[in-house]
Amino acid sequence: MQPSIDTIRFNETPEGIDLGLRVAGPVPRALAFVLDGVIRAGLYLALTPLIVLADVGAGLMLLAFFLLEWFYPVVFEVWKGTTPGKRAMGLIVAHDDGTPVGLPASMIRNLLRVVDFLPVLYGIGLISLLIDRDFRRLGDLAAGTLVLHAERRTASRAAVSATPIAPPHRLSTETQQAILSFAERGERLSEARRIELAEILTHEQGARAVDLARGWASWLARGREPEPS
């Protein structure tokens, strides 16, 4: 089996365009969760003065706590596509076809946090994240959602400036998209990771693999078809 190329998943749109989606792993998601927790804790503290209003104040405070706990993420995900914590980590929530998340899906994924939390400290949710190839917890699986890296895709100077090299055989659509994505994001990766991905793409070694992948990307970016084998 060919090794997975990074964390990019491809979804074909109705127009026949392959949309690359880079799913977020457990670490950035956990950090985003902590940041959102800190924000909610600050809001909880801001609401505690309501307790001075006796029974009415206590009731309002409990209602506000309930709304913050369960609808804080829903409001932000539907409104902005991401919570403040996820935004700080460069993450967004979307349907698994790449479209913006809607109210029903956001409600499902967040209300099912009560199941993901079991038995303690998001135990079930963490296990689900680790065994699913798209790092989805149960709420995401039920809602059909993904947590993605919100990357700004720009034209790669490396791909444009590289000397075009025709691939030795016809490449699958997924592989072509992966090569173009590698050229776009390559300069933002560490050298070791850049070489690792290039070796997977080209089956060559070291710096030659990187140069070859950039050359193929330059060829594909010009709309040329790989030469038949």
pLDDT digits (tens, 9 = 90+) for 196-205: 888 888 888 9
Cα dist from 129 to 25, 30, 118, 126, whole Å: 8, 11, 14, 5
Predicted confidence at residue 197, as pLDDT, reads 85
Domain boundaries, the chain: 8-149, 157-221
Predicted confidence at residue 7, as pLDDT, reads 61
41: which residues sit within 8 A by CB, 6+ positions away? none
What is the rounded CA–CA span in Å between residue 213 and residue 176? 10
Predicted confidence at residue 105, as pLDDT, reads 95
Predicted confidence at residue 102, as pLDDT, reads 92
What is the rounded CA–CA span in Å between residue 161 and residue 131? 40
18 pairs with which residues across the strands?
A: 12
What is the rounded CA–CA span in Å between residue 200 and residue 2? 8
Closest to 99 in 3D by CA, of 133, 152, 148: 148
10-residue block means of pLDDT along the chain (229 residues)?
54 50 88 94 85 74 87 93 94 88 94 89 88 91 92 50 80 79 77 85 88 86 55
Closest to 181 in 3D by CA, of 198, 163, 203, 206: 198
Tokens of 136: 């989805």
- This prediction has a pTM of 0.64
Predicted confidence at residue 12, as pLDDT, reads 54
pLDDT digits (tens, 9 = 90+) for 51-101: 767 677 778 888 888 888 889 999 999 999 999 999 999 999 999 888 889
| Element holding 5 (H helix, E strand) | none
Residue 4: strand, helix, or coil = coil
Residue type, 82: T
Predicted confidence at residue 160, as pLDDT, reads 52
Predicted confidence at residue 37, as pLDDT, reads 93
Predicted confidence at residue 169, as pLDDT, reads 77
Contact 185, 124 (CB under 8 A): no
What is the rounded CA–CA span in Å between residue 143 and residue 115? 14
